[in-house]
Structure 1
Amino acid sequence: MTLLTDGSPNANPYRLPRDVRPDRYDIVIEPDLDAARFVGEVHIEATVHAPIDSVTLNAAELECSDVMLSQGGTTSGAEISFDPETERMTLRPADGRRLEPGNLRISCTFAGELNDQLRGFYRSTFVDEAGEAHTIATTQFESTNARRAFPCFDEPDFKAVFGVTMIVPADLMAVSCGEVVSSEILADGRRRDTFADTMQMSTYLMAFIVGDLEATEPIDVGGVPLRIVHVRGKSALTGFGLEAGAFALAWLVDYYGIGYPGTKVDLIAVPDFAFGAMENMGAITFRETLLLADPQKATTAELLRIVDVVAHELAHMWFGNLVTMDWWNGIWLKEAFATFMQVATTDAFRPEWKRWDEFSIERGAAFDVDALSTTRPVEYEVVSPADAEGMYDVLTYEKGAAVVRMLEQYLGPDRFAAGVHNYLERHSHANTTTTDLWDALETSSGEPVRTVMDGWIFTGGYPIVSVEPHPSGLTLSQHRFVYGTARSGADAAGPGGPGAGGQGSAVWSVPVMVRARLADGRTVTERLLLSDAAANVDLGGTVEWAVVNAGGHGYYRVRYSAGLLAAVARQALEVLEPIERYGLVDDTYAAVVAGDASAAEFIGLVTDLGSETDLHVWQRTIGGLKGLHAIAEPDGREALSVLIRDLATTALGVLGFEPQPGEPDLDRELRGVLFEAAGGRGRDELVRARARAIFENATDSSDAVEPNLAAAAVQVVAAAGDETDYGRMLELYRSADTPQSELRYLQSLLLFEDAALFKRTLELFAAEVRTQNAPYLLGAAMTHLDHGPAAWAFIRDRWDELTDRFPQNSISRMAGGIRGLHTRELAGEVDAFFAEHEVPQGALTLAQHIEKMWVNVRLREREGARIGQDPAAPAS
């Protein structure tokens, strides 16, 4: 349903009236873990701003009763009416009196179910080392699910102070946003824990958790106690997360120039969690795999991800919690900045990980969506809760962070940081809109930030900057980069032209960094703002080679003229930084998908870069070759397998097959990437034999195996595995001693080529695997080279069952696997299916998945038969 509004809350049926605002909540909640129920009471101190006949607040999936309204010494009951569609509860004084401006106290008792949908107040389970099952009650309120735990004014600009009391079994631990200030044993043997008041904050940041948990001893970080809370028996896995958390908290305080706004930090590992983590104020919840780890067994990528997520959530304590977006259309204001800050923090934590180079991969995922006609602006109108859920995607996070990084590099880090400090300081404990941020950055930098940035935030898509030589330098021109929208028949015209490279009408203010070598031997740099469709850049002479988007941080693609491309590619390993070479490879592959370059051009480029030593360039190279391998005809697949094998084994020979003491972490990760490529798509028999030896040693011996190589060996063994290997992987998944190992072995089950084993995997995902993981794994199953269609048929036939079982916000992510389907017949079937099956919390995301599926159909039809042909031979 699309509702047109005039932009004001009163015009939106999902918004609450603004005539009553909460000031304080006192919540008492009693979870019954055995019965999967909870009861509670809430007392809300509010302010009435105009005479009213009723009070409207949010409540969903709750039984509410005993409502009392107190004002001016008079207390009366209330008539309750519910609107399930808008999840609103209206209270009318039973005595018919009007409520006047001034203080108002709202009291209510409530009851609800501890649900299994991983939202609101829900249950999570785990089995301890003795085989005993335990239940935890925990919360996930963002975006609009606090209303499922207690009646409240569940919108981000209704900030208030929260006081929480929990009544729980005496042998269980309770955690909330504040520290425990009193604890007493009641006559019935339960324990009553009262927590310190929170700062003034939004409902979505409240949390309460109870279960068989334990906590590490707190670490003092500048006067703030920080600890990790986890299920019993996993204390040995907390050290790395504590180290990351302590570093991030101290670094962020220094960067922001503002003290931590809470009184304590609990990082809480939850066995079942729909998202990666959630920035509840002072009680941050995480998936176990993103907080608990054994550094001796985890890969570099797994450890980096933990630092990232810990830093992301702590960054929210300021960006999101202290200063909060006014309404859900501004989600990017917190999520993009938290993503930007996580990369900056991780880069400071381990500079040798080259985290900003790694971010290029994540930015590429945003590029991929943003090249579709079904893309959206970073910020757009949000009407309903389902609209808000649809905002949690790569455009909010990765595109938002990418344009923020581009702005930071253009303004300079010091001026940018000063603007961030001014923004946070000026708006502490308040709500903001995008223009408030631009104003702060304009004040600190003196640059026209709003003029530059509005196009990036309020317009979908991005430009491709074309580069041509000019007698005194370069000619730059921009147009929108799009893949095209045709679903059947010949390619239809995209915006401004046929195929994907057609010129769109949008023009951005593009911060362009240029580095060029002139014919006279000088190397020059230039910074400019490309605000028109085209411009000449005077560099002082004829250009020998040039890199546009120098530094690699711009959110745009670059397409060089044939001569400039050949010149820069020829010298890329000598004159380009790794992040710039990454951009060259990524932009070329995107041009292939768009129909602006051939697969042969991409293959030629990466073959010329065969002496590459950088992890991230290799990851993009192998990713591109695997993408072409997936859509190639049998002969082309074989040719690409040979190429992947040759490139990867040659690079392994230079790097060395065996890890060396003291070598860089990224070299170890690169070895794993190359090893998996050679033994997987490359099907190298020597690598496969070596992988089996590594796998057996890692699982049957106490000898330590380097984690990146051990993880790669698991993938290679699975790709060539039989039923015995499958049984071993399944056993290792079920008995894994770390969250990372559990997920690693679970994912390996997707790689087996035997059709019967693959079907077993699908059944396992549907029935046994935790619902936090299963939808994503089923989506990934559709990308299997041989069995993707079978995975689609499984999901199609079991759709009702799966969508009933899985959290609703995960359904569009499960459907994302359709991007791996690339035959016209199958795409037509998928299209027809989703025309009759809605995905309410991800309608736009689903439309993007469908469009990208058709983009891949056209890529296969255009390039599939040409891959592996002799370039000199005529096309068939």
Structure 2
Amino acid sequence: MCTTRRFTLAALALSISSFNAAAATPNDTAPLGKLPRWALPLAYQLDFRVDPRQSEYSGSATIDIELKQAADHLWLHGQDLSVVKVTLTDSKNQAHAAQYKVAAQKEGVATVELGQTLPAGRYRMVLEYSAPFNQQLEGVYKVSSQGAPYVITQMEAISARYAFPGFDEPSFKTPFTLSLTVPENQVAVANTRQVAEQKLEQGWRKLSFAATKPLPTYLVAFAVGPWDVVDGPQIPATQWRARTTPLRGIAPHGEGERIKPALAQTPAIITALEDYFGFGYPFDKVDLLAAPDFAAGAMENPGLVTFRDYLMLLDANSPANNVRGSFNVTAHELAHQWFGDTVTMPWWDDIWLNEAFATWMQAKITQQLHPEYRADLELINGANYAMQSDSLVSVRKIRQPITGNGDIETAFDGITYQKGAAVLNMFERYLGADTFRQGVRSHIKQHQFANATADDLVSALAKASGKDQRFSKAMQSFLDQAGVPLVETTLSMENGKAVLHLKQQRYLPLGSAGDAKRLWGIPVCVRYSVAGGDAKTQCELLDQAQGKMVLPGATASSWYMPNADAAGYYRFDMARVDLARLTGSLTQLPDTEQLAYADAINAGFGRGDLDAAAVLAAAPQLAQSATREVATALIPTLKWLEKHEVRSDAQRERLTALARKMYLPRLQQLGYQRRAGESQDDALLRAALAQFLALDIKLPEVRKALLAQGDKALEKNADGKLDLAAANPDLLRTALSVATQEQGTPAVDVLIKALSNTSEPAQRMAILSGLGAATASANAQRARNLALDPLVKVGEMSTLLRASREDGEGREALWKWFTLNHEQLIKRSGETSGGRLPDLVAGDSCSQSEADRMNSFFQPLLKQLPGAERGLAQTREKTLLCTALREKQDPAALLH
């Protein structure tokens, strides 16, 4: 009786337990956004078998997981993977059958069906699979350099699911342990140091790498191929890091020597970043890899940072733009080792925490180590560039809610990078540099090797500064709403004091359908003149629709600059008399503020407040500046006038005469060849002026000088190859463009043939730009067709097509070509490029008919192209705004 009773109670307990387990089993559908949190990855062991000479690879992913509740299935990510076997083992080492099934192919969502309900607990899941090498530079992909195949990875944003099955979201940070089985004649590298090597049969070897720090899937990286591995100078120990850190360059075979300049600059960047963050470089090595083809500019994979090859492979003949870009981008990617790699956003709506911080820190480190690069001006130019996009109604917020994979792809834009960096710069000034750094250090330390949100950062800054909720609301007003603030200013004398009256609204271009009523918390700083010729600065937080600021020492005749040091992310509109005084005092402003003044001219023109005559009046004053960025600041607006407003010979002659007067003497003074000991800035100014005057304004004397260089570059040397080094490397792109336009078919023939035997990345970019600049219809068509030819790398396609639109036959011809070839283009470039496609093929359009045809063509493709909806909306809106601005213009204004 007692025995029976014990049995009955045990059976009842088991029955209840089973019932509860069954009841708790999730009954859900395939998650197309975030994965559910009832299954969590704890650690990965990834084993890859890779031979770059093959068309596919194989692998196994061993994932330690925790089921937070009983389940008969779990969700994970996997795309284009052929999973042949799944094994699940519990904590008692008991195996359970499981099956992998694709649940949502387009989103890369899969399910593992467990075959039974398993209780909550820890399990080890092993998935064995194979996959083709990706053709669109995602996941694990294969490219060639000088005929040799290489395998490289690119996992960001959501491409790790092409590489291995897993939980492909940034909030899932775990250690990864990689091994690579490769042919014995291949070099393999990964995020961490190699710790073991095992020789296998049939010419294979297995390389094992140390476990990583906790990482999200998008930072896993490896590469296999006949790489040159070059030791760089070791990064010495510092007060923040007790050990030396090894540094290496990974370059395509035969290119190792050219990666040494990039390696030489890296230790100083690392130590400067450590000093700022107060936190030692946290990974076990630094490898910089020059990828023969790459979708992005670079990628911050910890321990194995990958770059487009032209940024890493440098020598005396490299364009100045590439040399400077190498330092800037290296500083950007290494800044990510703290913001992004050590502390990671939990979801893609906070990707700005990665990219804005890296952009802002890049400028800070570059300004510290290379002040002559004027990273402060680059930061301001970046803000001005972002304001152009931020003026659109269709623009993203910095913290844009993510509703699908397409939103993830389009989050990597000027709003995330340049606007985000400008907002950080503005609030650093508001809090003070030391206080801001204290908040950043606290944030990094508190969330190291974990995840953190924007709110976490704002909280750390508020705590460090002792500021109240007014600061937090101010900063969040820039993060959580789109648009550019417009601050309207008027100076008046009241009771013997100079009072600056302020109003804020949203800046909207002429023709915009947006609502201007919007409030931010704007740290407004004003520089103004006082008696004796001195200047003072006054700052206030403007978080109401209207406000005022007393300017001590100012008089009724004082000039003032509404954005002191151009540190604020806002535009300004001054009372006309105030603007006239500022214009008359322009030479008294630092060049930072002259850039803000130039943006005010551009913004006033875009809003319809200023006409072409006002732009042409301001341009000569800025053009005489000794600072390159200021001297060229209005060139984009002059190009717009040339492209969209010039309708008569008289207008063209007026614009040509003005451009010749403003810029030709400067170009002639610089000359067309490099001079011994000249600055990079002179080289960059020469290139900018030559391109504008030769390809946009088409000055005969400039085209003649560049054609002479282009002709020399197209001559064959003793090896039978083009003598591309005969041209100034900084002008090669423009020289080949002029040669293509002037010589026609012979030049096109030579350049197409040169593509097949030219591997030097900067020269390839110049060749592609030259081909894209072809204006004769047959030659332009041949050039565009190359975008579908394997002769042109996937990452080079946009260079060719953009040149065809801007310097070649123009947007009408490109549009016709695209409508006939869009399926092949999308297949080759990948559907995830959809967000950028409308702008690539229809950017600079300026008519209602172009907007309509763009909309009609792309609408049926939106479901196929993630991110294209936003890309289409923005390109169409820019087209309509351009149309409204063009129709507003008075033809006589260009003749004044």
Q: TM-score, normalised by structure 1?
A: 0.91
Aligned CA distance change for structure 1 residues 543 and 375 (closer, same or farther; 3 Å): farther
Q: Which digits, 9 at most, give the CA deviation of each residue in 1:517-540, with x for residues without a partner?
A: 146755321111111112222113
- Provide the residue aligned with 1:753 in structure 2: 775
1:749 and 1:409 map into 2 onto residues whose CA distance is 46
2:254 aligned partner: 233
SS of match in other structure, 2:565: coil
Counterpart amino acid of 2:175?
V
- Determine if the alignment matches structure 1 residue 862 to structure 2 residue 888: yes
Shift of 1:706: 5.3
Conserved 8 A contact 1:779-1:816: no
CA 135–827 in structure 1, closer or farther in 2 if over 3 Å, else same: same
In the alignment, which residue of structure 1 is the partner of 2:535? 523
Task: Decide whether the 8 Å contact of 2:773 with 2:809 is kept in 1.
Answer: no
Q: Which residue of 1 aligns with 2:7?
A: none
Q: Which amino acid letter does the alignment assign opposite residue 201 of structure 1?
A: L
What is the SS of the residue equivalent to 1:772? helix
In the alignment, is residue 476 of structure 1 matched against residue 489 of structure 2? no
Q: 1:415 to 1:565 in 2, by over 3 A?
A: same
Conserved 8 A contact 2:623-2:631 = no
Q: Contact 2:230–2:256 at 8 Å: present in 1 too?
A: yes
CA contact (8 A) 2:771 2:800 kept: no
Partner of 2:462: 442
Secondary structure at 1:650's aligned position in 2? helix
**Aligned twin of 2:201:** 187
Amino acid at match of 1:27: L
**Contact between 1:755 and 1:787, CA under 8 Å: does it hold in 2?**
no
Q: Which of 642, 657, 666 lines up with 1:629 in the alignment?
A: 642
Task: Report how far residue 617 of structure 1 moved.
Answer: 1.4
The aligned residue for residue 867 of structure 2 is 841
Q: Which residue of 1 aligns with 2:667?
A: 652
Larger deviation, residues 841-850 vs 257-266? 841-850
Task: Classify the secondary structure of the residue corresponding to 2:102.
Answer: strand
Partners of 1:411 and 1:11 in 2: how far apart? 45
Per mean C-alpha deviation after superposition, the further-off stretch among 527-536 and 458-467 is 527-536
- SS in structure 2 at match of 1:544: coil
What's 1:330 paired with?
350
For residues 73-92 of structure 1, give each alpha carbon's deviation from its aligned partner in whole angstroms, at most 9, with x where no partner exists.
Answer: 12211133331255333333
Per the alignment, residue 384 of structure 2 pairs with 364
2:4 is aligned to: none
Aligned-partner Cα distance in 2 for 1:12–1:587: 46
Tell me how far apart the structure 1 counterparts of residues 599 and 870 of structure 2 sit (CA, whole Å).
25
Please tell me the residue identity of whatever aligns with 1:566.
A
> Given the alignment of the two structures, is residue 771 of structure 1 paired with residue 797 of structure 2, yes or no?
no
* Shift in alpha-carbon separation, 1:351–1:48, aligned structure 2, 3 A: same
Report what 1:534 is aligned to. Answer: 546
Q: CA deviation at 1:713?
A: 4.0
Tell whether 2:133 aligns with 1:106. no
2:833 maps to 810
Distance 1:197 1:852, change over 3 A: same
In the TM superposition, residue 545 of structure 1 has moved relative to its aligned partner by 0.9
- For residue 786 of structure 1, report the CA deviation from its aligned partner: 5.0
Aligned pair 1:686/2:698, yes or no?
A: no
Q: 1:18 aligns with which of 37, 61, 75?
A: 37
> Residue 588 of structure 1 aligns with which residue?
601
How far apart in 1 are the matches of 2:208 and 2:377?
46
1:145 is aligned to 159
- Equivalent of 1:827 in 845, 851, 872: 851
Q: CA deviation at 1:232?
A: 0.2
How far apart, CA to CA, are the structure 2 residues paired with 1:781 and 1:461? 32
Q: 1:325: Cα distance to partner? A: 0.5
Contact 2:233 2:264 in 1 (8 A): no
| 3-state secondary structure, aligned to 2:875 | helix
Any conservation in 2 of the 1:775–1:810 contact (CA below 8 Å)?
no
- Within the candidate set 259, 262, 267, 2:280 is matched to 259
The whole-number CA distance in structure 1 between the counterparts of 2:30 and 2:276 is 40
- In 2, the alpha carbon distance for the partners of 1:509 and 1:212 equals 54
Are 1:611 and 2:624 an aligned pair? Answer: yes
Question: For residue 629 of structure 1, what is the amino acid of its counterpart?
Answer: E
Would you say 1:136 and 2:162 are equivalent positions?
A: no
Bigger radius of gyration among the two:
2
Are the equivalent residues in 2 in contact too, given 1:629–1:641 (CA < 8 A)? no
Q: Which runs of 5 or more structure 2 residues have no equivalent in the other structure?
A: 1-27, 237-243, 718-722
The separation in 2 between residues aligned to 1:91 and 1:734, in whole angstroms, is 46
CA-CA distance at 1:625 after TM superposition? 0.7
Deviations 1:775-827 (A, max 9, x none): 35324433347532011111112111211111223333232132212233333
Aligned residues: 839
Look up the match of 1:545: 559
Q: Distance in 1 between matches of 2:859 and 2:323?
A: 41
Q: Which moved more, 1:799-808 or 1:426-435?
A: 799-808
Indicate how the Cα distance of structure 1 residues 534 and 173 shifts in structure 2: closer, same or farther if over 3 A, else same: same
Q: Read off the aligned partner of 2:90 and give its amino acid letter.
A: Q
Instruction: Note the aligned Cα RMSD (angstroms).
Output: 2.4
Match for 2:219: what amino acid?
Answer: L
Amino acid at match of 2:777: A
Counterpart of 1:284 (choices 295, 305, 313) is 305
- Structure 1, 648-657 or 242-251: larger mean CA deviation: 648-657
| 1:269 corresponds to | 290
Contact 1:775-1:806 within 8 A present in 2 as well: no
Work out the CA distance in 1 between the residues paired with 2:287 and 2:697. Answer: 45
Task: Using the aligned pairs only, state the percent identity.
Answer: 29
Q: Give me the whole-angstrom Cα distance separating, in 1, the residues matched to 2:35 and 2:306.
A: 28
In the alignment, is residue 513 of structure 1 matched against residue 535 of structure 2? Answer: no
Q: Is the CA contact (8 Å cut-off) linking 2:188 and 2:223 kept in structure 1?
A: yes
Instruction: Tell me the residue number matched to 2:5.
Output: none
For residue 482 of structure 2, what is the aligned residue in structure 1? 460
SS of 1:216's equivalent in the other structure is strand
Distance 2:671 2:798 in 1: 38
Give the partner amino acid of 1:415.
Answer: T
State the shift of 1:444 in Å. Answer: 1.8
Q: CA deviation at 1:155?
A: 1.3
Alignment-derived partner of residue 488 in structure 1: none
Query: Is contact 1:720–1:753 with CA below 8 Å preserved after alignment?
Result: no
User: Equivalents in 1 of 2:661, 2:383: separation in Å?
Assistant: 29
Mapping for residues 40-119 of structure 1, pairs under 5 Å: 40-73=59-92, 74-85=94-105, 86-94=107-115, 96-101=116-121, 103-119=122-138
Cα distance change of structure 1 residues 713 and 34 upon mapping to structure 2, 3 Å threshold: closer
Task: Single out whichever of 424-433 and 800-809 deviates more from structure 2.
Answer: 800-809
Structure 1 unaligned blocks of 5 or more: 1-8, 128-132, 485-490, 497-503, 872-876
Question: 1:351 is matched with which residue: 371, 376, 386?
Answer: 371
What residue in structure 1 maps to residue 21 of structure 2? none
1:244 to 228, 247, 265: 265
Q: 1:555 to 1:180 in 2, by over 3 A?
A: same
